[in-house]
Amino acid sequence: MSSKRITQLSVNNYIYCGDYYLFLKRAETKKIDPGMMNVVGGRVEPDEDYLTACIRETEEETGLKITPKQIKFAGILHHIEGYEKDWVIAFFKTKVSTKKPKSGTKTEDGEFIWIHKDEVPKR
């Protein structure tokens, strides 16, 4: 008999300014994807929709206050392997006017790094 898997709803936000994208090199101490490069994002709370979660996670992680007009929906993925839970991830792309808020800033989650679009890893 197979055990029932839990599905976690989450968001990923590809924040960009000009030709640069904001990435987070996750701290080695993080439970999920330690040391990996990722974009801003996180879990959707029980009372939230994906867009609201995107706005909240972006502000919590970066301090950037974004509006729905800046955000474009990019797609959704149901990821079912490699983790304890299944994940349904909504992807967004958000244009910001400055790189200053978190360029190179270290947080408990890791270190933010702006990467030129031509240098973004393809995989």
pLDDT tens, residue by residue, 24-72: 999 899 887 888 999 999 999 999 999 999 999 999 988 899 999 999 9
pLDDT tens, residue by residue, 63-100: 899 999 999 999 998 887 777 788 899 999 999 998 87
Domains of the chain: 7-118 (3.90.79.10)
pLDDT tens, residue by residue, 96-116: 998 876 555 888 888 999 999
77, 89 Cβ separation under 8 angstroms? yes
Q: How many other C-beta atoms lie within 10 A of the C-beta of residue 24?
A: 23
